Amino acid sequence: MNRIVPVIAIDGPTASGKGTVASRVADSLGWHFLDSGSIYRLVSLQALRSGVAFDDAERLVKIASRLDVTFDGEEVVLDGEDVKDKLRQEEVGNGASKLAAIPAVRSALLDRQKGFRKGPGLVADGRDMGSVVFSDSVLKIFLTASVEARAERRYKQLIDKGLSANLERLVLDLRERDERDTNRAVAPLKPSADAVLLDTTALTADQAVIFVLEHARERLIESRFVSNASDKS
């Protein structure tokens, strides 16, 4: 048995469904789950609360290195407060995209992300999980979807949580964020050469999860990893 803890990396643009798919795959396999986007959003939230500009690299690095955060089930606890819903706010998301382009901030958060790699395995979602953070992942999935489909998903999420949202503005925000993420100098958003591509525009979450699980089990067998998890899906 290979003793290296296996990782499934699920990357993709905002609202492509990667968070939902990754968390459900992790639950099905009985593995740990890392929502790397939440870590960047946490830095963004703290920066907004502290009045720190998103181009102030020095102060942003301090925030990143001092984050007091734990992931407890569906809760994201920052300084003793569950801030999961606050992390979904568009202002926080846009700030996260801006600070994620700063090399010093990414470096400060790299070791923290790698620390989530624990047995029996990890499912990590983000934008550079397969290309940078866990480049030795046993399986790399790159999810995508049309901007319109992603905007509609994000709109529904916000409305369901009782938050205000404007669909046209969401489309514009996503296009701007895609442009920023794909063209940043460090770890740009793009699929690894060995990633499996999955367009979720016309897929349900269930279909996407089944797709990933089927590929995961094939790769785990091929790589001689042993999963002690039962399928809960």
CATH of the domain at 136: 3.40.50.300
Q: Which residues are within 8 A (CB) of 199 and not within 5 positions of it... i.e. 6 or more apart?
A: 143, 144, 145
Q: What is the CA radius of gyration of the chain?
A: 17
The reported pLDDT for the residue numbered 93 is: 87
3-class DSSP state for residue 10?
Answer: strand
The reported pLDDT for the residue numbered 73 is: 64
Sign of CA dihedral 13, 48, 34, 128: positive
Q: Name the helix (H) or strand (E) containing 33.
A: strand 32-35
In a domain, 1, yes or no: no
The reported pLDDT for the residue numbered 4 is: 85
In a domain, 21, yes or no: yes
- The Cα–Cα gap between 103 and 119 comes to 29
Per-residue pLDDT for the chain (233 aa), expressed as one digit of tens each? 345 899 999 999 988 999 899 999 999 999 999 988 889 999 999 999 999 999 999 999 999 988 888 776 678 888 889 998 899 888 998 899 889 889 899 889 988 889 889 999 999 999 889 999 999 999 999 999 999 999 999 899 888 888 888 999 999 999 998 988 888 877 788 898 999 999 999 999 999 999 999 999 999 888 776 544 444 44
The reported pLDDT for the residue numbered 225 is: 66
Structural domains counted in the chain: 1
In a domain, 183, yes or no: yes
The reported pLDDT for the residue numbered 226 is: 52
In a domain, 207, yes or no: yes
Instruction: Match 């925030």 to its residue by tokens.
Output: 63
* pTM of the predicted protein model: 0.82
- The Cα–Cα gap between 101 and 54 comes to 10
Residue 231 CB: number of other CB atoms within 10 A? Answer: 10
Overall residue count recorded for the chain in this entry = 233
In a domain, 37, yes or no: yes
Q: Which DSSP category does 146 fall into?
A: -
Is residue 151 within 8 Å of residue 171, measured between CB atoms? yes
- The Cα–Cα gap between 177 and 181 comes to 6
Task: Tell me the CA end-to-end span of the chain in Å, nearest whole number.
Answer: 26
Q: Which residues are within 8 A (CB) of 165 and not within 5 positions of it... i.e. 6 or more apart?
A: 90, 154, 155, 158, 159
Annotated binding site for ATP: 12-20
In a domain, 32, yes or no: yes
In a domain, 43, yes or no: yes
- The Cα–Cα gap between 58 and 79 comes to 21
Annotated binding site: 12-20
Task: Determine the structural domain holding residue 133 and report its residue range.
Answer: 7-221
The reported pLDDT for the residue numbered 233 is: 45
- The Cα–Cα gap between 120 and 6 comes to 7
